[in-house]
């Protein structure tokens, strides 16, 4: 109970900090950075659903991110649709693409799945890169519209975009929280731990995996759509496999298969990269070995390791209490 309370207060404090941040710090650079962190986090949360909870390494994630981004970009610039409708359509299109890929890809297992999704990612990249007349090819798409007004609320300042990204992130985390703490989340974990076992207790593997994969594509699409309207320029590079690897790194640093992991990892890695600007090109010289070391020694990342630590301490406390109890009983019996 006390743990739940402290967890709840932690979340409250963090949300307050996030909400008050732009009011206290008028630093444009930091705001821009945090907005990007929030946007990327949404994609990493999607990644976490399929790769963290269901245990399937999906390497097409940047592809779905790009579908969302190009969806918004093309619908607003070429089709001239209003922003919010475009955003909605882009997310729906990405989710549909995810479902379509998932139906076929999920028939393959473990490394076949990784390679299959990698190929899907490469196909998406090559299509964006070569389909000049639609996507603008290597030149990319310029002049994507910023988020449109909702009634009296406008999104033309950085602060308002910050809040927009923050609210979408909060929504994403809330959905993930509800999923993980429901039967569905348990089902996902059961599939990760043993597909055969899950099957024997009557779990429909395909249906649940497909749901997870579609959800993960949906979040990637949402993140991509927000990214496109925030940066307002996109190129084929956003669908490259390196972007997927980058998201994988965020997830791994934060903690794969944990709820706080995606946000923690994205925040840490992006802020570290930004503060080591001179390293920009060579940051993987550090992060590559970090990924390997994490896999070797801390496969559950920062959040996972903290959780394990807390659990261990709790168990120690319990066993200590037990010992005390036994000593007392012994004394009483002796007395």
Binding to other proteins, residues 196-255 (CB under 8 A): 241, 245, 248-249, 252
Q: Which residues, in sequence order, are bridge partners of residue 142?
A: 233
82 binds other proteins (CB under 8 A): no
Q: Which one, 107 or 322, has the nearer CB to other proteins?
A: 107
Give the whole-angstrom CA distance, residue 267 versus residue 274.
Answer: 11
Task: Give me the least distance between CB of 110 and other proteins, in Å please.
Answer: 5
Specify the DSSP element, H or E, that contains 104: helix 83-105
Q: How far is the CB of 111 from other proteins (least distance, A)?
A: 5
Compute the distance between CA of residue 14 and CA of residue 171 in angstroms, rounded to an integer.
15
Could you tell me the smallest distance in angstroms from the CB atom of residue 187 to other proteins? Answer: 19
At residue 150, the 3 state secondary structure works out as strand
CB of 298 to other proteins, least distance (A): 11
Cα dihedral 229, 90, 88, 225 in deg (nearest 10)? -20
Measured from the CB atom, is 82 or 289 closer to other proteins? 289
- Farthest CA pair distance, the chain: 92
CB of residue 107 vs other proteins: minimum separation in angstroms?
A: 4
- If one asks whether residue 296 binds other proteins (CB under 8 A), the answer comes out as yes
DSSP 178-208: HHHTSHHHHHHHHHHH-HHHHHHTT--HHHH
Residue 199 beta carbon to other proteins: minimum distance, rounded to whole angstroms: 14
State the Cα–Cα distance between residues 49 and 43, nearest whole angstrom: 10
Please state, as a whole number, how many other Cβ atoms lie within 10 Å of the Cβ of residue 160.
Answer: 15
By rule CB under 8 A, what string of x and - marks binding of each residue 25-64 to other proteins? --------------------------x---x-x-------
Smaller CB distance to other proteins: residue 96 or 122?
A: 122
Is residue 289 near other proteins by the rule CB under 8 A? yes
Which DSSP string corresponds to 35-89? HHHHHHHHHHHHHIIIIIIS----TTHHHHHHHHHHHHHHHHHTS---HHHHHHH
User: Nearer Cβ to other proteins, position 272 or 291?
Assistant: 291
Determine the size of the site formed for other proteins (CB under 8 A): 41
* Burial status of residue 310 (CB atoms within 10 A of its CB: 0-12, 13-18, 19 or more): exposed
CB of 227 to other proteins, least distance (A): 22
Least Cβ distance, residue 50 to other proteins (angstroms): 11
Nearer to other proteins, 147 or 301 (CB): 301
Please choose, out of 4-12, 26-34, 283-291, 303-311, the segment that lies near other proteins by the rule CB under 8 A. Answer: 283-291
What does DSSP assign to residue 255? -
Per-residue x/- track, 110-149, other proteins (CB under 8 A): xxx-xxx-xxx-xx--xx--x-------------------
Helix (H, G, I), strand (E, B) or coil at 33: helix
Choices 13-21, 105-113, 198-206, 309-317; region in contact with other proteins by CB under 8 A: 105-113
The only residue of 155, 162, 213, 287 in contact with other proteins, by rule CB under 8 A: 287
CB of 288 to other proteins, least distance (A): 3
For position 109 contacting other proteins by CB under 8 A, the verdict is yes
CA–centroid distance for 177 within its chain: 13
Nearest-5° Cα angle at 298, 246 to 261: 50
Number of helices and strands in the chain (H, E): 14, 2
- Given the rule CB under 8 A, which residues bind other proteins? 51, 55, 57, 104-105, 107-112, 114-116, 118-120, 122-123, 126-127, 130, 241, 245, 248-249, 252, 281-285, 287-292, 295-296, 299
């Amino acid at each position: 109970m006390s743990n739940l309370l402290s967890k709840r207060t932690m979340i409250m404090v963090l949300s307050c900090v996030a909400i008050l941040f732009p009011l206290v710090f008028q630093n444009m650079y930091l705001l821009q950075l945090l907005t990007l962190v929030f946007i990327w986090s949404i994609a990493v949360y999607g990644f976490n659903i399929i790769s963290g909870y269901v245990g399937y390494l999906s390497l097409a994630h940047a592809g779905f991110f790009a579908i969302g981004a190009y969806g918004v970009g093309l619908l607003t610039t070429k089709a001239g649709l209003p922003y919010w409708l475009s955003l909605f359509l882009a997310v729906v299109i990405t989710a549909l693409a995810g479902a379509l890929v998932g139906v076929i890809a999920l028939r393959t297992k473990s490394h076949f799945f990784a390679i299959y999704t990698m190929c899907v990612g490469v196909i998406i990249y090559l299509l964006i890169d070569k389909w000049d007349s639609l996507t603008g090819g290597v030149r990319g798409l310029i002049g994507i519209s910023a988020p449109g007004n909702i009634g009296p609320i406008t999104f033309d300042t950085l602060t308002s975009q910050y809040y927009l990204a923050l609210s979408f992130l909060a929504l994403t985390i809330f959905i993930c929280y509800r999923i993980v703490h429901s039967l569905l989340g348990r089902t996902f974990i059961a599939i990760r731990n043993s597909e055969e076992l899950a099957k024997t207790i009557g779990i429909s593997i395909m249906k649940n995996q497909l749901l997870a994969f579609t959800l993960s594509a949906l979040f990637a699409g949402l993140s991509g759509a927000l990214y496109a309207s925030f940066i307002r320029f996109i190129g084929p590079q956003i669908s490259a496999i390196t972007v997927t690897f980058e998201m994988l790194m965020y997830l791994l640093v934060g903690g794969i298969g944990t709820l706080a992991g995606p946000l923690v990892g994205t925040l840490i890695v992006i802020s570290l990269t930004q503060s080591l600007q001179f390293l920009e090109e060579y940051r993987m010289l550090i992060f590559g070995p970090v990924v390997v070391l994490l896999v070797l020694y801390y496969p559950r990342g920062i959040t996972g390791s903290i959780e394990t630590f807390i659990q261990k301490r709790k168990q120690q406390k319990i066993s200590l209490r037990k010992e005390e109890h036994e000593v007392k009983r012994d004394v009483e019996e002796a007395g």
